[in-house]
Amino acid sequence: MATSAARPGTVPPKDLESFQAHLNKSTRILALLGAGLSASSGLPTFRGAGGLWRTHDAVQLATPEAFGRDPGLVWQFYNYRRHMALQAKPNPAHYALADLARKKDGFLTLSQNVDGLSPRASHPEDKLKLLHGSLYDVKCSDFFCNYFEKNNYTDPIVPALAIPTDDSDPTTTEAIKARELDISDENIALPEIDYNHLPKCPTCKRGLLRPGVVWFGEMLPKDVLSDIDEWLTESDKIDLIMVIGTSAKVYPAAGYVDLARAKGARVAVINMDKKDQPASGMYKRDWFFEGDAATIVPELLKSVVGEITEMPDAAGTA
């Protein structure tokens, strides 16, 4: 098939044809997802240039020690992220991957994202492994309590964490819908929230609830890793691994690319940055699709999932 120049953000026809021919016959497929998948949904990321939230290094807020020192500040950071993610919508790539999971029994998605967009796109739960947890899971921080709640979309999770609004002009009819202030801006005053107004565990009554994400210094969830290992050992063959919106240079993510390759997988990278290649580099039969995942992924998967038309949002019914 002759190759013609692709429009910006679309896939060159020859590459599209070869990828879809391989996808159509593939029975065991992995997808590894990173923050770039959700970029088109308008979500801010805090791992990259700057990496600041207000004047705080966002990475330094994502630790058990930070929560122990100042749970109010940490909860304000995570409540902001929950709020922003709920304002965002899953994009066509989330829905295309969810459809692929329903169409291909041997498809497993490993997500490093905590934004809840894949679950909200109704990605089958048994085919989606959240390596770093979710902003919408909450658990008790008390060592002796096992309280855990999935998919808590309450926003704010407690009244004290409500995003402050600009009530400077009470004469307008819009005062009821006062403009939310951007508390990621260090020039916006951030209220101090004491222990008594933070979310408490309903079971033990002692511990504070905390976001159900994996903080730096914590182990990845054992049950998730166990499920992935079980899937990996079910067969000596993997046909394809799609690396979407992540550089896959950090372990264990990088290790899954290597494991898939060792079982014969071809690698397809979908990323905005041509330099974001897996730690093991690109091989001759790999594909690199440069551009917006929200546009490229549905195009790549169209031969299996068809056109993405309906995009219901599970959070709307939560």
Q: Please, which residues bridge with residue 139 across strands?
A: 148, 210
Task: Flag whether 100 is marked binding.
Answer: no
- 293-305 vs 13-25: helix axis angle to the nearest 10? 50
Least Cα distance to 82 among 47, 52, 117 occurs for 117
Non-local (6+) Cβ contacts of 90 within 8 A are 41, 117, 118, 120, 121, 311, 313
* The dihedral sign for the CA sequence 226, 232, 235, 239: positive
Mind telling me the catalytic residues?
132
Asked if 101 contacts 124 with a C-beta cutoff of 8 angstroms, the reply is yes
Query: Which residue reads 């002009």 in tokens?
Result: 169
Where are the extended beta strands (E) located within the chain?
29-33, 52-53, 56-57, 107-111, 128-130, 133-140, 148-149, 165-166, 179-180, 209-213, 240-244, 266-271, 287-290
Task: Flag whether 231 is marked binding.
Answer: no
* The dihedral sign for the CA sequence 235, 236, 242, 244: positive
Task: Flag whether 242 is marked binding.
Answer: no
Task: Flag whether 169 is marked binding.
Answer: no
| Cβ-based burial of 184 (10 A; exposed 0-12, middle 13-18, buried ≥19) | middle
Residues 112, 117, 121: CA angle, nearest 5 degrees: 125
Which residues contribute to the annotated binding site for Zn(2+)?
A: 140, 145, 201, 204
Which residues contribute to the annotated binding site?
A: 140, 145, 201, 204
